[in-house]
Structures are given as structure tokens and as C-alpha cells.
Amino acid sequence: KGKSARESLEEQGLWDEYRGKFPFNPTRFDDQSLSVSSEQMTNDADLAYFGVISIGTPPQSFTVIFDTGSSNLWIPSIYCSSAACANHNKFNPGLSSTFKNAGKSLSIQYGTGSMTGFEGFDTVVVGGIPVKNQIFGLSQSEAPFMAHMKADGILGLAYPRLAASQATPVFDNMMTQHLVNKDMFSVYLTRNSEVGSMVTFGGVDPNHYYGQIAWIPLSSQMYWQITVDSVTVNGQIVACNGGCQAIVDTGTSNIVGPQADISSMARAVGAYSANGDNVVNCNSINNMPAMVFHIHGQAFTLPASTYVRQSTYYGCRTGLQSSNSDLWILGDIFIRQYYSIFIGLAVSSKSRQPLH
């Protein structure tokens, strides 16, 4: 539990300044040549989820965001002099007997923030699973916004095709090294800053969902990308008319889509624009309509209580965020409502699929 990066900035009156300097840039999701057992996660005010991993021999511990919207693992290093590294744990390769320098530089751009550094190999333990010779990034510089992140680094869970410098993702090494019972991982996200969020490698936890699991085929194997048929409010199509592409991304807190569609959805639920957010009257939440995402013949309903967040500093806002990209992002707002299972590589090229 604790303040998110955004809440910390809001409290200091710096959010609007930072939002202007470091705007969220979902266009990273369009770049196809970017150069750039269970683990409990901490729910950081419903805006980020992170858990603890260790790297090296003896182990050095770090908190990381488990991010299905990227593929690289990286953490701060002792060679980083950025302000963002000053208040985070830093890896010291000289203290690990199993560390090997990969001799390659690394640069990654995220929706908010970026890092540069170099790559190395070492033993990485995730949820009690030791992954040997895992390549990872050691940051030497980080964007200022990352100083306000609770987590030290990021552990990417998307496809190898997305990884900067062709690094092999942690989960792919888990599968290759036969470290998991089944080639899958699943994600359970709590709400209202509650404890209990979980990423499970090698299986599912039936205690975290009920009903039938709906299989959703992937439309592309870079992100966990699927086809959304439409979005409706009160039975009327308000967005994604004729179908659209979306990625299921634990590393993004909101639902992100094209500006025209997001504006249409906001109007349909009674939100209005203020300070770059889609704002609602806090007293109206119980009377607001649900949003329904129609995916592969299934209806995934998001009641107003799931997509409206109340801030101490900015009132009540929807988790709807516009971008200049046609690719939608179904972030934590969606995943909190629907337990998500991600199936790994198997014989068929269509076998790696998220389930909701």
C-alpha cells in the first residue's frame, strides 16, 4: 500500500507540470522495431502492481512491475546517477559471483519514462523459481518521472519479438528451462489497495475466479493482442464500431483508446473533460451505466465502480485515456475485473492466448 507516482506528484502539486513534460505516449505500442510458483504483488493505489524478485549470488532483492506490455527485465544499477535511481535499490554486479556482462547497451522507451544502460546475465529468482543465465538490463540513466515510481524496475512478460536488443524474456526462459508445471502464467489484481494481488507462474489459482474461462485467440504475437468487436453503453455501440485491436497490459492502469472513441465513451457514461481527465460527479457513480466490451462473442462488463477512481486531490475520474494510436490498451481496470491467464508457447502458433 502507498501513494502511486501520480498521487505523490498530485500531493506536491507537480502532476500537471509532469504530465506536460512527460506525456503518456502509447505510440510506443505501434513500433515493431523498438531499439530500445506465485509471487504476491503490492497494489499501489490501484495504479501499479509490483512484486519482489532477486538477482545474483548471493541474491540482491528488487521490486518490479510485472508488465505484460513489455518484454525486458531491468533494474537500477550502482552505475546510475539519475535522480530516479537515488531512491531505489541498485544492483551491484561486483557482489554477485554469477554475474556476466553481456557487452551490449540497452535503451527502452515506455509510455511514461525511459531507461538506458547495459545488459548482463545472472540468476533471477521469481516467485521462488530460479532462472539461470537470465539476461537483464542494468540502468545507467532513468527518466525523471521514474523517481516517483514505487517499484525499482520492470519485468516484461510480453513476447520476445517485442524485447529491446533481442533479450529473452524471463517467462520464456522459465519455459525453455522447464521450470514451470505448465507453460502459462496468470494474473489476479485486487482493488482498493487491498493485499492479495498475485502473479502465478505455471498454472492458475481457482480461488481467484469463478465461472467459465473464456478463451480469446491472439490476433498478433508481439503483445498479448486480441480483437475487440465493439464497446457498448446501454446497448448502443459507442466505440470500436466494426472491430479494433487491443492489448491486455498489466503495466497500464487505464483503458486507452483513440481520442474520438474515448470521447464517445466518456459522453455516454456522463463524464466531462477537465484538466486532461474525463471527470464525473462523485455522487453519480451509483447511477452511471456500465461499459461492455464485446470480445470473441463474449460480453465483458465493467460497472461504473470499476472504471471510476476517486482521488484526494482531483475528485472522481474515469479510467478512460485517449491516445493518437488505433491500438487499444486494456489495462488494470479491465484485468481487475477479469482474472487473466496467459498461455505460453506450444505446438500451434495460435496457442499462446490470454484467457479472461
The model's pLDDT over 235-259, given as tens digits with 9 standing for 90+, comes to 999 999 999 999 999 988 899 999 9
The model's pLDDT over 67-96, given as tens digits with 9 standing for 90+, comes to 999 999 999 999 999 999 999 999 999 999
Q: Would you state the pLDDT for residue 32?
A: 37
The model's pLDDT over 131-141, given as tens digits with 9 standing for 90+, comes to 999 999 999 99
Q: Would you state the pLDDT for residue 257?
A: 96
What is the mean predicted confidence (pLDDT) over 247-276? 93
pLDDT band with cut points at 50, 70 and 90 for residue 112: low
Residues labelled catalytic: 67, 249
Q: Mean pLDDT: which of 300-304, 312-316, 343-347 is highest?
A: 300-304
Mean pLDDT check: name the lowest of 4-18, 30-44, 104-118.
30-44
The model's pLDDT over 290-306, given as tens digits with 9 standing for 90+, comes to 999 999 999 999 999 99
**Residue whose C-alpha is closest to residue 185's, from 343, 345, 347, 355:** 343
Q: Would you state the pLDDT for residue 253?
A: 87
Q: Whose grid coordinates read 554475474?
A: 99
**Residue whose C-alpha is closest to residue 113's, from 161, 168, 190, 48:** 48
Domains of the chain in start order, with CATH, are 5-179 (2.40.70.10), 218-343 (2.40.70.10)
SS3 221: strand
Q: Would you state the pLDDT for residue 37?
A: 62
Mean pLDDT check: name the lowest of 104-108, 113-117, 321-325.
113-117
Measured CA distances, 231 to 238, 250, 302 (Å): 6, 20, 11
The model's pLDDT over 37-72, given as tens digits with 9 standing for 90+, comes to 666 666 554 456 789 999 999 999 999 999 999 999
Which is higher by pLDDT, 161 or 275?
Answer: 161
The model's pLDDT over 139-182, given as tens digits with 9 standing for 90+, comes to 999 988 788 888 999 999 999 999 999 999 999 999 999 999 99
The Cβ-side half-sphere exposure at 13, using a 13 Å CA radius, reads: 0
pTM for the predicted model, two decimal places: 0.85
DSSP of 260-326, one letter per residue? HHHHHHHHHTT-EEETTEEEE-GGGGGGSPPEEEEETTEEEEE-HHHHEEEETTTEEEESEEEESSS
Contact (Cβ atoms closer than 8 angstroms) between residue 3 and residue 11: yes
pLDDT at 186 over 90: yes
What is the mean predicted confidence (pLDDT) over 273-296? 93
pLDDT at 347 over 50: no
CA angle 125, 132, 127 (to 5 degrees): 20
